[in-house]
Each structure stands twice: as C-alpha cells, then as structure tokens.
Chains A and B, each alone.
Chain A
Amino acid sequence: MELISAKNLYKEYKLGEVSQRALDDLNFKIEPASFLSFVGPSGSGKTTLLNLIGCLDVPSGGSLTVAGADVLKLDRKERAAFRGRHMGFIFQDFNLIPVLTVYENIEYPLILVQNVPSEERRRRVLSLLESVGMMAHKGKYPDQISGGQKQRVAIARALVTAPELVLADEPTANLDSKTAYMIIDLMKAMKEKSGTAFIFSTHDQKIVGAADIIYSLEDGKIVGRKEMKKHGSI
C-alpha cells in the first residue's frame, strides 16, 4: 500500500477577490521508504506541496491520503497528533530549540509529543546521536555548533519518533556544498537504516541527483517524474 496518494489535489490562495492556484490538479503516489525529491524553480509549489503532505496546511480540494489517513478530514488537533505520530520534519533553518542541548533537542518529541518512557528515550537518542555523528556534541547548545551539525541534529530529531515519513524543505539551502552533500548522504543512509521515507524539496541540481525519484514542479503542476537508478553516495 502506498504511503502517500494524491488525486486531483489543488491548493488555492485568495488574494483579495482573486484566487490563485499554488498547486493544480496533482496526481501521484509515493511508496513507503522512498527517497524522493520535489524540484523546481522558486514559486513552483514545492513548499506548498510539502506543507500539504506534512499536514501543516489543508488542501483546497481533491484528495490526499498520508499513511492511511485522509488529511482533509483531520481537524487542527488531529493534524497535530498525526504529525507527532507519523512524521518528522527537517527545516531549511534547522529550527532547533535554542534553550535545549543537542541531546535534549533530539529527546524533545519523545517527551512532549509521544510520552516515551525514559529508558527507551535514552536508548533511541543515544543511538541516533551515534548514527548522525553528534555524540561528542550532545551537551552543546545549538549556538555552539555549526550549520551542518545543526542539520544533523535536526535529522536525528526528525527520526527519533520512528516516523513513516520525514519531510525536508530545502534542507541544504543554508549549507555550503560540501556540507550539503554530507547531509543528503546522511539522510539517505538514515533512510536505508530506518526504512523511513524521506521527501525533500530543493532547487539545487547537484543535490537532486541523490534522490531515487524526482518529481519536477512548475507553476503548481507536476511536469515530470524521473526514477534514478543510483546507489551509494553522490
């Protein structure tokens, strides 16, 4: 069964009396454990689509099923609970909580979103710290580590709840090329290890190549789908 299914999906924004379609008649299916990228120029609708898949925003019409749930039928609270159970997020600006240490940032969703017992929390956080190579920095605060390290922590935080899906909107936009490749490599490695689907948006053509499936967007429409048959790092 597919992880995400969209049928005639569209999103409209009202600008005064005028309606503007940011996404128009999208149809696609995404399998579990995919490593997929939405690419396209600025304004093509990548972020809007990720917001809809991530239940951060509500479609204007069509249907969208994520992890078996019809997201149009979820209210505000149900969407929050759904995100906490099924999804992880990686942001362009890392968005770590500045008053929490690296360890605590990763632990946060387990305490305040999923109420996981302390022993299990500790096991999961330490395992992820090890996997993303941040064990040595676990006691540091976000302002004491580099951008690349922050994004590693964000990846660990996104994966700590063992979600079915991680959404990353331009995860490498604020990183230099070398770090960006390392982050994409890490995301791919984590996908292989955890079986979690990763969907990311980017406009960086060098990064795009890392994805197994690439959807190209233009003016809110899917204009292409490409399956890459690559293995290993980019």
Chain B
Amino acid sequence: MAAFNLLKIALRNLLRYRRRTLFTSSLIIIGVVFVLVFVAVTGSIKGLLIGQITDSMLGHIQIHKKGYVASIDNLPLTVMMGPKAVETVENVIKTIPGIEAYSPRIKFGGLFSNYRETTNIRLNGVIPEKELDTVPLLPGRIIAGKWDLAKGNVLIPELLAKGMDVNAGDSIVIIATNKDGSVNGKQFTVSGILESVTGPGGRDGYIHIDDAAEILRMEEVEISEIALRLRDIEMMPGVHDALTEALSEERNKAGKPMFEVHTWEKLSPFYNIARMIDIMTFFIKIMLIAMVLISIMNVMIMAVYERMREIGTISAIGTMPGRILSMFVLEGLSIGVLGALAGNILGCAIIYILNLSHITFNFGRQTGLVLAPRVQGEDLLIITVIVLAVSAVASLQPAFKASRMEPIEALRHV
C-alpha cells in the first residue's frame, strides 16, 4: 500500500509539472527511437550482407584438415582430407543437430587459358547438388550463361571473363600442378559467368569435383574443405562448439588434432565490418545512456530543489528517509518507463513503416537488396532495461539528497 501511494505521489508530481515531464520524456523517447531504428536498420543491412557472404560462397562453418587455414591463400594440396577423414567428418556431421547441408570442396590454383592468353585462377571442385544446398544464393550470382556444373563445364568470375574476353559457351583450358609436381590440363566449356562478392574467393571459379580430381590426378578424391549450412545462423556458436568437441577426438599419427573448425567470421574480412556495425550500435547505446542520465538527473535535481519545503514537511511528520528516497527514485523511474514505453511503440511503428516502404540498397555488385529492418524482442528488452536502470541511477543522487535533508533546513527553504 505504501509503495502504491509513493507511486501515486510520484505520478501526480510528474503531472503537476507537465511541460517539464513532457520535455524530459521526449528526449528519452527520441533516444529510444533512434537506437531502435538504428539497431533494426543496421541489423537488417548486416543480416543481408552476412547472408550474401555465407549463402553464396562461404557457408556458415567450414571444416579443414588442421593447418589448412594458416596457408589458405596458397590453396595447399598437401593439407587435404582423404576419404577416411571425410567419412569421419560426415559421420560427426550427422550426429549434430542444426546442420542443414554440407558440401565437400577441392580448392586449387591453376592457369586459365583462352588459347590466346593465360592467367591465374582459383578453382572450387564441387558436387553441384551439395554445393547448391549449402550455398543456395550461388546461382543468383550468375550474370551470363546458366547454373550448369556438369562435367566439362566451368563457372568463371566476371573479372576474369572480362579481362580474358571470354563469354558463356566459349571453350577454355585449365592447367594445374598436382601435389607431386606434375602438370595436367583439361578443356572446359564456360557455362556461366559469376559476379564477384566481397571477401576471399570472390574471384573463384567452379567446376565439377570429378573434373578437379582428374586435373589434379588424384587416385582417390581428397577434399580441401567441407562447407556447412545451418538451419539458423543463430545456431552457429553451438554447432561450432559441438563440431570442435566431436572432431577434437580425432588425432593423427603424431597424436595431434586432425581437423580444424571455423565459422565464417574467422574466414572473411567482412566480419570486421560486421563488428564495426556492432561497435557503432554499442556507442549509440552509450549515447542513449548519457541522454537518459543527464535528462533525468537534471529534472530530478530541479524537482528536489523546488519541493524542498514539501520534503521538510513530510520529513517533519515522520516519513522515514528511505521512503523519501523511494518517492524520488520512483518519480525518475516513472519518466524512464514513460520514455521507454512510448519510445518502443514509436520505434516499432517507424520500423514497420520502413518495411512497408521497401527501401533498396546495393552491396558490391548486388543491387536491389531490400532493407527489411527487424526489431527483436531482445533489443526491446535490452533498451528498456538500459533506460530503466539509468533512470533509477540518475534519480538516486537527487533522491539521496532529499532523503538526507534535515527537516528544519528544508522547512526554512523559500
């Protein structure tokens, strides 16, 4: 009952100084709306960009033989997974929930010739169906020709096609050196041209895995990496840990771990951009905290100063200091609740309108990506908790001052 009455007094005091309450809550509302919209929009952009990276190229997680990633730029053919190792990995994959698809790849560097000129190319030998299941946006990157990775076909990156003046349907030759140092070549037909995407491998070409094994003269197929697609990217940390734990039991003859597991974040420099977005969001939240702190502290200091005689009166008639403190903290907290509530509602409304507006943007060569800002319940909760906690903290100093005031001094205040 006492708490209810303290709240009643706090709310009525807020109504008593309507204009000031409105001004202070407006500042908080603006802050909350700004943070919410920023988090939703940048989250959408980040999600779309991450989706482009993972769903058209990297996959969510990759498994390599231990030591491969350290020399990944060289596409080493000496750090590969043999059939037994691949079988081991496949067996582990089947036991871990959340993995939707996987694609084994042979990655190697070679020479690309159009019979007139020769240049370097990075190639991925893949099983087309498995690759499609793992990186479903890959066919979407084809700007000429079609998605056809039948044996004898190659998908080549756009920059290479332009530089070498090669079009879909043209015949080219790929030459590569295998791990024993012998050179081999094979003629291919360009079935499609891929536009680039940010990150390493953005200039990669694709061939059938059997063609890759043939060029590299593999007696038995050895795999450079196994890319995984998860049902939900949010499951990535859990699946990564489970895979790491399960595969850590596999040891080579020297007793060292055979495999290494990496998420896309460890493999793509784009992760740093995503991190920058997170850091910006963090600083925006700090700004919100400062905004709430200054607004509430300012208004509560004024409230204590203006109501000095009132504080003296309630103190004189026996109100304990703790209750006086609660009264002012509740007042500050109520402004915070009002600001957080109205800010959340307004923020969600703006995000809804943004979704209806179908705003598009470009990323690299990807055009017309539709902005779909989304606010998570978790974001609303975090922002609300920040505002409420900061409101309470900001009210504490003035409230403490009010509760420590000597009634006789307060009553004398004019």
Chain A contacts to B: CB under 8 angstroms: 51, 54, 56-57, 76-77, 80-85, 87-89, 91, 93, 95, 97-100, 108-109, 111-115, 118, 157-158, 161
In B378-395, the 8 Å CB interface with A consists of none
13 pairs, A vs B, C-beta closer than 8 Å: A80-B315, A80-B319, A80-B321, A84-B319, A87-B318, A99-B13, A100-B9, A109-B317, A109-B318, A111-B1, A112-B2, A113-B318, A113-B319
Contact with A along B1-35 (1 / 0, CB 8 A): 11001100100110110000000000000000000
CA distance A98 to B310 in the complex (A): 9
CA distance A98 to B17 in the complex (A): 12
B316 touches A99 (CB 8 A): no
CA distance A95 to B6 in the complex (A): 18
Contact with A along B291-331 (1 / 0, CB 8 A): 00000000000000000011011111111110100000000
**Nearest-CB residue, chain A, relative to B310:** A97
CA distance A81 to B321 in the complex (A): 10
On chain B, the residues within 8 Å of A98 by CB distance are: 16, 310
A89 touches B316 (CB 8 A): yes
Chain B contacts to A: CB under 8 angstroms: 1-2, 5-6, 9, 12-13, 15-16, 309-310, 312-321, 323, 406-408, 411
B411 touches A99 (CB 8 A): no
Chain A nearest CB: distance from B402 CB in Å? Answer: 13
Chain A nearest CB: distance from B281 CB in Å? Answer: 40
On chain A, the residues within 8 Å of B323 by CB distance are: 112
Q: Given A57-B408, A97-B313, A111-B2, A81 and B318 touching (CB < 8 A)?
A: yes
**Nearest-CB residue, chain B, relative to A111:** B5
**Nearest-CB residue, chain B, relative to A89:** B316
A77 touches B318 (CB 8 A): no
Partner of B5, one of A85, A88, A112, A161: A112
CA distance A81 to B5 in the complex (A): 19
CA distance A88 to B313 in the complex (A): 11
CA distance A57 to B315 in the complex (A): 12
Q: Given A56-B408, A112-B323, A84 and B16 touching (CB < 8 A)?
A: no
CA distance A112 to B4 in the complex (A): 10
**Nearest-CB residue, chain A, relative to B315:** A80
CA distance A196 to B39 in the complex (A): 64
A51 touches B408 (CB 8 A): yes
Chain B nearest CB: distance from A109 CB in Å? Answer: 5
A95 touches B318 (CB 8 A): no
On chain B, the residues within 8 Å of A100 by CB distance are: 9, 12
On chain B, the residues within 8 Å of A111 by CB distance are: 1-2, 5
On chain B, the residues within 8 Å of A157 by CB distance are: 317
**Nearest-CB residue, chain B, relative to A109:** B317
B407 touches A56 (CB 8 A): yes
On chain A, the residues within 8 Å of B16 by CB distance are: 98-99
On chain B, the residues within 8 Å of A56 by CB distance are: 316, 406-408, 411
B411 touches A112 (CB 8 A): no
**Nearest-CB residue, chain B, relative to A52:** B408
Partner of A99, one of B12, B309, B320: B12
CA distance A139 to B314 in the complex (A): 20
B313 touches A84 (CB 8 A): no
